[in-house]
Amino acid sequence: MASGFEILGTHRHKEHRVDYMDWAPGARYCALVGDFNGWSPTTNAAREGLYGHDDYGYWFIILEDKLREGEEPDELYFQQYNYVDDYDKGDSGVTIDEVFQRANDEYWEPGEDRFIKNRFELPAKLYERLFGPNGPQTIEELGEIPDAETRYKAHKELHKDDPPSNLPPFDVIDNGKEYDIFNVVVDPAWQEKFRNKKPPLAYWTETRKGRKAWLKKYTPAIPHGSKYRVYFNTPDGPLERVPAWANFIQPDAEGKQAYAIHWEPPPEYTYKWKHTAIKPPKSLRIYECHVGISGSEPKISSFNDFTEKVLPHVKRAGYNAIQLIGIVEHKDYFTVGYRVTNFFAVSSRYGTPEDFKRLVDEAHGHYFLQFSRFYINLKVLVVCKYCNQYVDNDAVKYLILANEILHALHPNIITIAEDATFYPGLCEPTSQGGLGFDYHVNLSASEMWLSLLKNTPDHEWSMSKITSTLLGNKNYADKMLVYAENHNQSISGGQSLAEILLSQGNDKAPQSNELLLRGSSLLKMIKLITFTIGGRGYLNFMGNEFGHPKRVEFPMPSNNFSFSLANRCWDLLEKEGVYQDLFRFDKDMMKLDKNEKVLSRGLPNIHHVKDTNMVISYLRGPLLFVFNFHPTDSYERYCIGVDEAGEYQVILNTDERRYGGQGIVKEEQYLQRTISKRVDGLRNCIKVSLPSRTAQGQEWFVDMIMHAL
């Protein structure tokens, strides 16, 4: 059922009708009700038999288009229509006899006309002889069937006076076995000749009419925009429901009942795709967002608002993928999409399916990879206990099957697992016994940062704990996706890191405000070390790239359905201050990966972790990252080991004034030459200036003087 939506639900059929198919093995009766038939449960019901109800629980309903007054039914029972183009081949006025004649003329060669006209003669005579009124009534009366050679000679004798033709010669095979009497083999040369022939014209395509011809003759059985539901008679009584396969759902005016909407817009209102989907990049910089809260006004934002205002911002911020949450139709807005009601319908709160197509197409035009986040109930898929008799085998099989089908149908798809158990084989191919996910999320990182900020004084932070938590399970570090925070921190009743760190500051004087300077510095360092120390992907929730100061709280009964916190304050980016500084830093951090391929490099070499000094340093490819988390101590010439001799140039410094820092390290100090001294188990070292609560990213260059020598 991986492609069940292509069959089940309502679908426009080429032969001027709409087909509805559903699966309800326990039902006794099935009908489609809606405003198009006065909500009558008897007008459009499934019949019994092959084209109505079968033994496997499938129900099939045909809704024939209505013939307009004064119009005659189609001459051909198989007449098809193209509902997109105004004109098609069938509009040319060519008759079916002319189409058949052209097909025969193009396919058959001269001399084969007798075969064309008599190709059904043999089976008709055989049927008459065996099953006709004058044929044998019992097996005994059938008599013995002669062998192949006898039948062949009889055939030649019967047709000895026929004119010569290009019909195939026959060879007789009779090895004295019982089945040989049925074998008459066509000459191989003749077989090859017809194997290379093009098939006859598809007459149903040649006679297909266009949309104008259809509208002139018929009115749609179920017009575009009609409300409908499916009606079942079950052993427990009648019931109505929204079909599970509907692709557009809308509630009534009071919001108490939902209806499926038949979505079949005319061509002029159908979105025309402009861009092709991009291939997954080697490193993912994911921008996680929710369409409904993406605006600055206290209301539910639309797909069009998101397309016009948020997508350009995401492009400017340097991310290469967007992840949409709460996009599939769900029951309550405040559940953020966790209570899905229809997997094949985008939420009507944000707009129409055509608006969503535009959003996806424009995202591809910005070279974004697009994700939709689906939630799988862990009460069903319990895989938290493994390698014993308590493992939920059905859950594991489901995940394996889902990944196999998804990757088979869409080779460029990416599946990500949120897992806190380090399940063995989580990201291994299913062919090797794994579950088949492409990435897994390190959930421990965000929990660690929240715990440190809320429960641990700055001077008691453990550098060893930070590095071990951020690296996660080393066996899957090359397929790990990390984030300092995601929507859970700011939506699920919690606080974002910016809200914790910046809530007491004054954004108008960042350089003179000690609390704001601390918050801004730690926020930049937390992001940078999470981004660079491990993993192949990084995720950021909408607004956190500039330190959004408020949490997200959806309108719900407990807050009297208020929208005051269900938006994003984009206007903060228009003012000089801490939010512009943080956004500038986040943008340059994304640019660092774009230029230096940080996320796609191998695992880091963490060679310097000092809890007493609160300093962390590691190498990732040619890049050196150094962090000083100490709240008060600065180091003028701190010795850090490096492997390669040469020069190291600072390419990212959290303390620069344009990022809201103090600018203690001057630009003339950005270039450092290595010293031939063994430090941290490495052959060389450099001495760097490390102000408190700052971090640096440095790039190694070959020493051109030494290289020339």
Q: Are 569 and 550 in contact (CB under 8 A)?
A: yes
Within a domain: 526: yes
Q: Are 221 and 228 in contact (CB under 8 A)?
A: no
- What is the average pLDDT score of the chain? 85
Domain end position, chosen among 598, 614, 648: 598
Q: Mean pLDDT lowest for which of 255-264, 299-308, 349-358, 382-391?
A: 382-391
In this prediction, residues 212-233 reach a mean pLDDT of 95
Q: Are residues 582 and 654 in the same domain?
A: no
Helix (H) and strand (E) counts in the chain? 19, 29
Q: Are residues 297 and 320 in the same domain?
A: yes
Query: Active-site positions?
Result: 418
Distance CA 6, CA 21 (A): 10
Within a domain: 272: no
What pLDDT is recorded for position 155?
A: 67
Q: Are residues 106 and 224 in the same domain?
A: yes
What pLDDT is recorded for position 681?
A: 92
Sign of torsion, CA 590 594 598 599? positive
Within a domain: 516: yes
Which residues in 515-539 are b (16+ Cβ under 10 Å) and which e? ebbbbbbbbbbbbbbbbbbbbbbbb
Q: Are residues 18 and 150 in the same domain?
A: yes
Q: What is the 3-state secondary structure (H, E, C) of 203-239?
A: HHHHCCECHHHHHHHEECCCCCCCEEEEEEEECCEEE
Q: Residue 682: helix, strand or coil by DSSP? A: strand
Listing DSSP states for 458-513 in one string gives GGG--HHHHHHHHH--GGGGGGEEE-S--HHHHHSS---HHHHHHTTS-TT-TTT-
What pLDDT is recorded for position 511?
A: 42
Position 612 confidence tier, pLDDT thresholds 50, 70, 90: very high
Given a cut of 70, whether residue 426 has pLDDT beyond it is yes
Between 78 and 180, name the one with better pLDDT.
78
In this prediction, residues 358-381 reach a mean pLDDT of 67
Q: Are residues 426 and 304 in the same domain?
A: no
Of 566, 567, 555, 564, the closest CA to residue 255 belongs to 555
Given a cut of 70, whether residue 667 has pLDDT beyond it is yes
CATH classification of the domain holding 626: 2.60.40.1180
The values of phi and psi at residue 531, to 5°, are: -70, -35
The pair of structure tokens assigned to 698 is 């440095």
Distance CA 29, CA 59 (A): 9
Within a domain: 275: no
Q: Mean pLDDT lowest for which of 367-381, 386-400, 436-450, 505-519?
A: 367-381
Q: Mean pLDDT lowest for which of 31-35, 303-307, 394-398, 700-704?
A: 700-704
Given a cut of 70, whether residue 188 has pLDDT beyond it is no
Given a cut of 50, whether residue 703 has pLDDT beyond it is yes
Q: Are residues 446 and 535 in the same domain?
A: yes
Position 383 confidence tier, pLDDT thresholds 50, 70, 90: very low
Identify the domain containing residue 666 by its residue range. 604-701
Position 179 confidence tier, pLDDT thresholds 50, 70, 90: very low
Given a cut of 60, whether residue 184 has pLDDT beyond it is no
Q: Are residues 102 and 131 in the same domain?
A: yes
What pLDDT is recorded for position 660?
A: 93
In this prediction, residues 621-649 reach a mean pLDDT of 94
What pLDDT is recorded for position 338?
A: 83
Using only C-alpha atoms, the chain has a radius of gyration, in whole angstroms, of 36
Of 265, 417, 251, 223, the closest CA to residue 342 belongs to 251
Position 379 confidence tier, pLDDT thresholds 50, 70, 90: very low
Q: Residue 518: what residue type?
A: R
Q: What is the pLDDT of residues 533-548, one digit of tens each?
A: 988 899 999 999 999 9
What pLDDT is recorded for position 154?
A: 72
What pLDDT is recorded for position 177?
A: 53
CATH classification of the domain holding 135: 2.60.40.10
Q: Residue 567: what residue type?
A: N
What pLDDT is recorded for position 112?
A: 66
Within a domain: 384: no
Position 135 confidence tier, pLDDT thresholds 50, 70, 90: low
Position 479 confidence tier, pLDDT thresholds 50, 70, 90: confident
Q: Are 627 and 689 in contact (CB under 8 A)?
A: no
Q: Residue 5: helix, strand or coil by DSSP? A: helix
In this prediction, residues 508-519 reach a mean pLDDT of 70
What pLDDT is recorded for position 378?
A: 36
Q: Are residues 106 and 138 in the same domain?
A: yes
Listing DSSP states for 145-202 in one string gives PPPHHHHHHHHHHHTTTSPP--PPPEEE---S-GGGGG-EEEPHHHHHHHHTSPPPP-
Within a domain: 277: no
Between 525 and 475, name the one with better pLDDT.
525
Q: Are 662 and 702 in contact (CB under 8 A)?
A: no
Q: Are residues 608 and 594 in the same domain?
A: no
Q: What is the pLDDT of residues 96-133, one digit of tens each?
A: 888 888 888 887 777 666 555 554 555 555 556 556 66
Q: What is the pLDDT of residues 151-169, one digit of tens each?
A: 667 767 776 776 665 555 5
Distance CA 669, CA 687 (A): 11
Q: Are residues 461 and 533 in the same domain?
A: yes
Quick one: how far is CA 89 from the chain centroid? 36
Within a domain: 379: no
Distance CA 526, CA 695 (A): 10
Given a cut of 50, whether residue 438 has pLDDT beyond it is yes
Indicate the pairing of strand 284-289 with strand 321-324.
Answer: parallel
Domain end position, chosen among 583, 598, 613: 598
Q: Are 672 and 632 in contact (CB under 8 A)?
A: no
Domain end position, chosen among 262, 296, 315: 262
Distance CA 464, CA 620 (A): 18
Q: Are residues 330 and 472 in the same domain?
A: no
Within a domain: 381: no
Q: Are residues 592 and 613 in the same domain?
A: no
CATH classification of the domain holding 442: 3.20.20.80
Distance CA 681, CA 696 (A): 21
**Count of domains for the chain:** 4
Q: What is the 3-state secondary structure (H, E, C) of 500-546?
A: HHHCCCCCCCCCCCHHHHHHHHHHHHHHHHHHHCCCCEEEEECCHHH
Q: Are 653 and 666 in contact (CB under 8 A)?
A: no
The pair of structure tokens assigned to 485 is 């925070």
Position 472 confidence tier, pLDDT thresholds 50, 70, 90: confident
| Percent above pLDDT 70 for the chain | 83
Q: Are 349 and 330 in contact (CB under 8 A)?
A: no
CATH classification of the domain holding 319: 3.30.750.90
Between 650 and 492, name the one with better pLDDT.
650
In this prediction, residues 399-425 reach a mean pLDDT of 88
